[in-house]
């Protein structure tokens, strides 16, 4: 099997190159490239379940009490987990809530909140790997890792059930998974590295007593299933107390076109070259009319029908993926890459790593324009081999050029309503930042879980010559031993019935003050490292 090296443009600006590590694999015993490490990403999926046990879900979030606050933390997007029940469902439906090369995308289907219990149904476009005989289906989850200068999204522990075509396949989930632990942790690598936070490979999959998967608190994780599965969905149940309320203020919808320009365009490079020669550079940017009182935005857009950067393109290039959108500041200031829908501060962005450099990225609060996702192929135009091989017809080029896609930005005012969070200054690391702890953390992570085929990542299994059949032998469901919260916390094992969301007639909870702005910009964090609100500088 041969998998070619290539790079992809950090769909941010045309001048930015974003490496996706893909390797040439000569034998199954040879050291597999980082491509399969990326491939190894795995996730959870959705389906509509009316009742589900929350066994294995930590019932109380890891609080900030009795913790030493870090000197600073990086900004993090507000997850849909904390928006369910707080914003209209129409804002969230179809949103790309997680995206990563090697794992595909996860999209929101539906959700509900009942007290502190949140249920989220998702669907996803997975990615595939094969050695010609065996297949693996790789998929991501609700959390999102920090790749290069992208923001992470932290989520609390969850129970997960996975379905193919509506039939439950949870018991077939691989005996190992990979993830980025969530917490009030600073990054392990700088703003130009593939992983800014250590990714733990080959962890033993934990099953709850009811057969659901116990997903730990994470900033991105990956699971796999044997075979080539399609129409995958999942249901997640999380314990997530409501720390905020959201006031919907306004929205704007723009129609954007495909991106044409410089930069490595991966498997669709031939198409981009043809479009460049015929039409010249194009990248849509839209002036924002930000309403008074708005402090956060949620940007939603459809997926592109191709994945230009995944290895084994013959089985992956025609799958849905995402692209980078940006908040533009004064002049030509570009924010860091954003590739998923999450609530982000409108007036609290950090400048792209290629523009600002240094130990920490430059902060700016002059949001004025929204740069559209850099899609080479518009939504609803399926992949054609000519996009890779060249010589697309004039009719197809015209169709691509004129096709429009909707992008909506929802303006919110977010209000913190619950105690128990810590206010921490915000910084985002740049190319010049480093930490001695990084090497130790990576070494520690690399030494875990490699003695049992069921606790070995796909990459390590292939390096050791372990067949995929052994890797995918499901671990026996047991009571979860995964702990993301203090050891004295109890796991809830009651059966909960989820009822339709009913809005209370009681007065809204009191708004908590943001406090002194000295030392800010700041964020309000829980112990899992989830950021709930933003405090601007003085």
In the chain, the largest separation of any two C-alpha atoms, in whole Å, equals 66
| CB neighbours of residue 430 within 10 Å | 20
Mean pLDDT (whole number) for 521-531: 97
> Comparing C-alpha atoms, which of 151, 154, 132 is closest to residue 143?
154
Strand partners, 328: 334, 369
pLDDT-based confidence at 263, cuts 50/70/90?
A: confident
CA distance 441 to 166: 40
pLDDT-based confidence at 355, cuts 50/70/90?
A: confident
| CB neighbours of residue 291 within 10 Å | 12
Q: Distances from the Cα of 315 to the Cαs of 127, 135, 214, 327, 388, in angstroms?
A: 8, 11, 30, 33, 13
What H or E segment, with its residue span, contains residue 138? Answer: strand 135-139
pLDDT for the residue numbered 456: 39
pLDDT for the residue numbered 508: 57
Mean pLDDT (whole number) for 90-118: 97
Could you give the angle at which helices 269-279 and 394-402 cross, rounded to 10 degrees? 80
Mean pLDDT (whole number) for 330-346: 94
Alpha helices in 185-338 (DSSP H): 269-279, 313-316
429 near 196, Cβ under 8 Å? yes
> Comparing C-alpha atoms, which of 425, 429, 433 is closest to residue 361?
429
pLDDT for the residue numbered 516: 77
- Comparing 503 with 310, which gets the higher pLDDT? 310
pLDDT for the residue numbered 98: 97
| β pairing state of 349-350 and 363-364 | antiparallel
Q: Over pLDDT 70: what percentage of the chain? A: 74
Strand partners, 429: 360
Q: Is 222 exposed, middle or buried (0-12, 13-18, 19+ CB in 10 A)?
A: buried
Helix (H, G, I), strand (E, B) or coil at 381: coil
What letter would DSSP give residue 273? H
Instruction: Annotate 218-258 with DSSP letters as a single string.
Output: EEEEEEEEES---SEEEEEEEE----EEEEEEEEEEEEE--
Which are the contacts of 278, defined by CB distance < 8 A and separation ≥ 6?
A: 397, 401
Which are the contacts of 355, defined by CB distance < 8 A and separation ≥ 6?
A: 333, 334, 362
CA distance 372 to 12: 9
Tokens 């080539």 map to which residue? Answer: 228
Mean pLDDT (whole number) for 440-450: 37
pLDDT for the residue numbered 513: 73
Q: Is 488 exposed, middle or buried (0-12, 13-18, 19+ CB in 10 A)?
A: exposed
248 near 296, Cβ under 8 Å? no
CA distance 411 to 294: 6
What H or E segment, with its residue span, contains residue 181? Answer: strand 176-181
Side-chain half-sphere of 247: how many Cα atoms within 13 Å? 14
| β pairing state of 244-256 and 405-416 | antiparallel
pLDDT tens per residue across span 112-147:
999 999 999 999 999 999 999 999 999 999 999 999
| CB neighbours of residue 229 within 10 Å | 21
- The mean-pLDDT minimum among 66-70, 245-249, 401-405 falls in 66-70
Please provide residue 354's backbone torsions phi and psi, each rounded to the nearest 5 degrees: -75, -20
212 near 461, Cβ under 8 Å? no
CA distance 390 to 275: 11
Q: Can you read off the two tokens belonging to residue 247?
A: 């006031």
| β pairing state of 135-139 and 127-130 | antiparallel
pLDDT tens per residue across span 490-516:
333 232 333 333 334 445 567 777 777
pLDDT for the residue numbered 462: 40
The rounded radius of gyration (Å) of the Cα atoms in the chain is: 22
**Chain centroid to CA 99: how far?**
5
Mean pLDDT, the chain, integer: 80
pLDDT for the residue numbered 194: 81
Whether 57 has a pLDDT exceeding 90, the answer reads no
pLDDT for the residue numbered 436: 54
CA distance 81 to 123: 15
């Amino acid at each position: 099997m041969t998998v070619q090296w290539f790079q992809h443009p950090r769909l941010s600006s045309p001048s930015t190159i974003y490496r996706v590590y893909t390797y040439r694999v000569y034998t199954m015993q040879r050291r597999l490239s980082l491509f399969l490490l990326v491939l190894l990403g795995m996730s959870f999926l959705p389906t509509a379940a009316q009742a589900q046990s929350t066994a294995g879900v930590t019932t109380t979030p890891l609080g900030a009490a009795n913790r030493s606050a870090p000197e600073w933390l990086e900004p993090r997007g507000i997850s849909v987990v904390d928006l369910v029940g707080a914003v209209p469902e129409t804002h969230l439906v179809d949103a790309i809530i997680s995206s990563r090369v090697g794992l595909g995308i996860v999209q929101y289907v539906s959700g509900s909140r009942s007290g502190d219990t949140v249920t989220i149904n998702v669907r996803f476009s997975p990615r595939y790997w094969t050695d010609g005989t065996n297949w693996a289906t790789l998929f991501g989850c609700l959390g999102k890792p920090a790749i290069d200068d992208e923001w992470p999204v932290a989520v609390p522990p969850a129970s997960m059930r996975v379905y193919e075509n509506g039939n439950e396949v949870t018991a077939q989930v691989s005996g190992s998974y990979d993830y980025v632990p969530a917490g009030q942790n600073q990054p392990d690598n700088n703003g130009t590295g593939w992983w800014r936070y250590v990714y733990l490979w080959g962890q033993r999959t934990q099953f709850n007593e009811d057969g659901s998967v116990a997903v730990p608190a994470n900033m991105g994780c990956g699971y796999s299933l044997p075979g080539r599965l399609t129409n995958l969905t999942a249901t997640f149940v999380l314990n997530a107390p409501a720390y905020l309320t959201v006031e919907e203020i306004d929205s704007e919808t723009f129609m954007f076109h495909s991106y044409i320009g410089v930069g490595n365009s991966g498997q669709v490079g031939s198409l981009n070259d043809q479009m460049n020669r015929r039409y010249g550079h194009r990248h849509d940017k839209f002036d924002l009319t930000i309403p008074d009182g708005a402090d956060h935005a949620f940007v939603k857009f459809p997926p592109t029908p191709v994945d230009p950067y995944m290895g084994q393109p013959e089985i992956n290039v025609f799958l849905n993926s995402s692209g980078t959108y940006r908040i533009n500041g004064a002049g030509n200031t570009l924010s860091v890459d954003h590739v998923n829908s999450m609530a982000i501060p409108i007036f609290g962005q950090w400048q792209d790593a290629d523009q600002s450099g240094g130990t920490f990225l430059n902060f700016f609060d002059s949001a004025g324009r929204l740069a559209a996702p850099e899609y080479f192929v518009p939504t609803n135009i399926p992949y054609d081999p000519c996009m890779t091989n060249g010589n697309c017809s004039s009719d197809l080029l015209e169709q691509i050029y004129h096709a429009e896609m909707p992008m909506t930005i929802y303006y919110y005012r977010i209000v913190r309503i619950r105690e128990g969070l810590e206010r921490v200054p915000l910084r985002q690391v740049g190319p010049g930042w480093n930490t001695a702890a990084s090497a130790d953390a990576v070494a520690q992570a690399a030494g875990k879980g490699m003695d049992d085929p069921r606790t070995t990542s796909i990459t390590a299994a292939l390096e050791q010559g372990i067949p995929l059949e052994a890797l995918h032998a499901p671990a026996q469901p047991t009571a979860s031993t995964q702990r993301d919260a203090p050891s004295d916390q109890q796991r809830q094992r009651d059966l909960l019935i989820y009822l339709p969301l009913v809005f209370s007639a009681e007065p809204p909870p009191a708004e908590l003050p943001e406090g002194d702005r000295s030392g800010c910009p700041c964020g309000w964090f829980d112990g899992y490292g989830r950021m709930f609100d933003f405090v601007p500088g003085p």
